[in-house]
Structure 1
Amino acid sequence: MKTLATLLMILLTSLIHAQEKNTYTINAQVTNVKSAEGNVIFSLHTKDTFMKGSGIKMVVATIENGVAKATFTDIEPGTYAIMVLHDENENKRMDFEATGFPKEDYGMSNNPMAFGPPNFNDAKFDITTEDKDFTIRF
């Protein structure tokens, strides 16, 4: 009987471990928001979703004292990038000048200093063993 009970405990423990998923949390903030108008949209992207919409997760954050913060939870290991937009007029999209330059501030993880459209390779990061924290500049 003890053998059966021990075997049952081992089986249950194995099943519980098999169902556990390692997920992580990503915290992101922008500390140099120039105005309190509108809100700041944080979007988490994979290579497949980068520059193609709202990404796999999105957080709309309020601005307090020039700072906006977002937390992405239950993130599976992988390669991601964060894009951030100061949506001053709250239309949930980036607005452009007639010349094609953005009217609203934006930024990305890793704070690349790139000219031209954002590039996933410049903004990407891996999440494999621990939570991540980012401060993104506009």
Structure 2
Amino acid sequence: MKFLVFTILGVLLCVQVSIAQNRPQVGTLTVNVSNVQHRVGNLKAVLQNRSIFLTPQFIACIEIHPTSNEEQMIFKNLPFGDYAVMIYHDLNTNDIFDRNLLGYPREPFAVSNNLHILRLLRPSFDAVKITLSSSEMAVNINLLHN
């Protein structure tokens, strides 16, 4: 009888472990944005993965009206993996990342890992990727201004 009880308990434990391993692992990514110098317009943050990096597509997008020098943007229920965060401050609320004729940004912007890229060059995904591998993660991103 004891053998039967232990066998049933063992099978149930294995089933529970198997079910837990098959659940998609998701987390929350908190993006702390600093150096927000203007209270007009909107801060926009998009999250991209390698396959859609630097395209108009995104995994998630957050838009907020800034009220202080530091803001927080929270992406919830993200599957574990590699992501890039791209942020710009749409000062004139035209929903466009404004650039001049040479391609130089007219609005504050930033990328994950605070990569200080030349404003005319595109960063590589590997240079800006962050890896979400826990239920909660926070990154600090500093806006660059002209």
Task: Assess same fold via TM > 0.5.
Answer: yes
Map of 1:73 onto structure 2: 76
Give the whole-Å Cα distance in 2 for the aligned partners of 1:125 and 1:118: 17
The 1:112–1:15 alpha-carbon spacing in structure 2 relative to 1, beyond 3 Å, is closer
Q: Which of the pair is proportionally richer in helix?
A: 2
Deviations 1:33-61 (A, max 9, x none): 11111110011111122210141111112
Matched, 1:124 2:100: no
Identity %, equivalent residues: 22
Gaps of 5+ in 1: none
1:104-115 matched pairs, under 5 angstroms: 104-115=107-118
TM-score, L = length of structure 2: 0.79
Picking from 28, 32, 36, the partner of 2:31 is: 28
2:64 corresponds, among 61, 65, 79, to 61
CA contact (8 A) 2:110 2:141 kept: yes
Residue 15 of structure 1: CA displacement?
6.8
**Structure 1 pair 40–24 and aligned structure 2 pair: CA distance change class (3 A):** same
The size of the alignment, in residue pairs, is 138
Q: Once the two structures are superposed, what CA deviation does each residue of 1:65-103 show, in whole Å capped at 9, x if it has no partner?
A: 122221111111211110001011222220111232111
Q: Deviations over 1:96-117 (max 9, x none)?
A: 1123211111001100122133
In the alignment, residue 126 of structure 1 is paired with which amino acid? T
Q: Distance in 1 between matches of 2:103 and 2:35?
A: 23
Unaligned stretches of 5+ residues in structure 2: none
Residue 133 (structure 1) aligns with: 138
CA RMSD of superposed structures (Å): 2.5
- TM superposition shift of 1:19: 5.1
